[in-house]
Structure 1
Amino acid sequence: MKDIQPLESWSVVKNGGPIAIAGPCSAESEEQLMETCRQITEEIDITMLRAGIWKPRTRPGSFEGIGEEGLKWFANVKKELNMPITTEVANAQHVELALKYGVDVLWIGARSTVNPFTIQEIADALKGVDVPVMIKNPINPDLALWKGAIERIYGAGIRQIAGIHRGFSSFEKTQYRNIPMWKLAIALKTELPNLPLICDPSHIGGTRDLIYPVSQKAIDLDFDGLMIETHRDPDNAWSDASQQVTPKRLAEILNEVKIRKSTTDAEEVNNKLDDLRSKIDRLDNELLEVLSQRMNVVNEIGDYKRENNLTVFQAGRWIDIFQNRPEQAEKLGIGKSFMEQLFKLIHDESIRVQTKVVNTEKA
């Protein structure tokens, strides 16, 4: 998928740098949609306007969208404000209607991405159509599902594709509505380096006060843009009221976010970075050598346990390591949580190696 097109080549993208997509979670009325979008464009320069026309809800009884009538309203917004528009599609009929009313960019939601049958239906409807498509991550943290959805849309002939990171559902309660799991988004970018990646801080945060810090984090991780739910009267929105911001607050957030360059042409800066990265490379090699030496000792311990009929896992020893090493690390300025995770991985590998040793007959 090396020919996926960069955002700057999309016809709807007029400026360089991270893009900004904003608009209400849902189109509620013609007047609400027009006034919200008008206020947004008066407050700040953005790339395109968004609005939910069909709203797949977790439970029945919630507002599930205006439907086709909302597309008529959105088409009027596009014409009057001279702005590109984007909305979510969840089946072939949605695709057909969205294109009929001149929607410039389509996006596929998390509840659709999780279902390959749904994605294939949408992909089939897109064959022969030249329209950008943004694909949100699935609700559950499954990189293969996300990548598979992108591959299906790519297989339909679409080359203007972007991913949208909106976080993942979790049984565990955290400060986020959907936990970010940034490492999974980074993994997608690693596998598909030319895929534009946009962050949806509204769905990650779930509350207005988290929109800015999540946005800044995304930009610091070199995301290509932000999609922020914006409403003229968020407290009285028909859906996702707690995570929508006013157009005025949207402008404040986008102005507060600090944009950093991913590269520079300054020779002095690049030379300094090269020197520092060389140090990292040397230290990494030393770390690998030390880990190799440690695993050699693990093998010896496995031999000794086999000869003396001892269990591989010994709880007392593990508890001592798990308590002692992170405390030592903390004194050295290394994060305790990071060290706990690291030693769990090392211990798991040690268990694997020793299990193999004790169950192998000595030559």
Structure 2
Amino acid sequence: MTAPLGLEEAQARLLALAPQLSSERIATEAALGRVLAEDVIALRTQPPADLSAMDGYALSGDAQAWRLVGESRAGLPYSGVLTDGECVRISTGAMVPPGADRVLLQEDARDDNGAITAAPPPPPGRHIRPRGLDFHAEDVLLTRGTRITAARLALALAAGHGTLAVTRRARVVVIDSGDELSADPAACLPHQIPASNGAMIAAMLAPLDCEVNRIGPVPDTQAALADALARAEDADIVITSGGASVGDHDLIKPALTEWGAEIAFWKIAIKPGKPLLVATRGDCVILGLPGNPVSSFVTAFLFALPLLRAAAGEHDPFARTQKLRTRDDLPAVGPRREFLRAVEADGEVCLAGSQDSSALTALAAADCLIDRPAHSPALPAGEAVRVFNLRNG
């Protein structure tokens, strides 16, 4: 029997299989959450001219007093050229007229019948945003593989881009399987539990802006699984939950084989989440997650999210980590790397509750995962541990 893979090796092998999605051009204002398929190169300079950073007076040269000769407003610049000793009233964001070399704050100015004085006068360059302060035309502002946030969307617009080339949305099918699952959470018989994994996984994928089609809950029969997989013919990625273990009714492997998929690898040396399965069918990647809800969540976090990011072409598909001190004593770890559900508070972490792989209460309370290497000794409170932040995953 092949030994379970380590986390990083399994992640690397999975991402090497990631489908290569084509690109499309869409309106920049519709690009939030999408991943750039091309660099964004500035088509204009920002600001396009010297602008005032404050409300006040644009002054020309050193003087005891400056003669007020006009006004420059945002969107309505002064049309003339200032000479030494002249000034114009100016508003924030307005163009600094030719000849002006500084801006006097409104609250520091005194207007004596059109003669503007200040004590002391501002030095040259004060309160002026020079042309190109932010960027110049032909600067590379965003690189291919960058996911568009609200601020990046604004930057692309400011750079003159009304459209952007982005990776098309991945088509993802999520299949929830298990005889014990009830589609109606309000109508469970004693031998049933509400089907929650499919909805949970779809919610985890939502920030990645992919097209998700949920199927299930699907009974634990070969025929039902075959029917569900047949409905995933056009998927780029198929994610199953349940049926990937070794029990008599864990039928994902044979169902995938019957569908024409090839198993790439199976079983990962992590806890929770050992029975993770990866397969391919043409360009489609199939990710078989365990059925226990915590195991399903953790493996989706560690594998499904990076896979979707890699398929979209993101630079760094993995979640960031940090070192924090633990408030709790942590037990020794066995042969599998463990991910403990935890809560961060005041720069420290504490366990969120029960670490059983079915305990949704602790998972719902958690905002991070403590990463405990295999064979780690018991760790006393106060020691630093590596933590995955679930809020940036």
TM interval, short-chain normalised: under 0.3
**TM-score, with length taken from structure 1:** 0.24
Could you say which structure has the higher helix fraction?
1
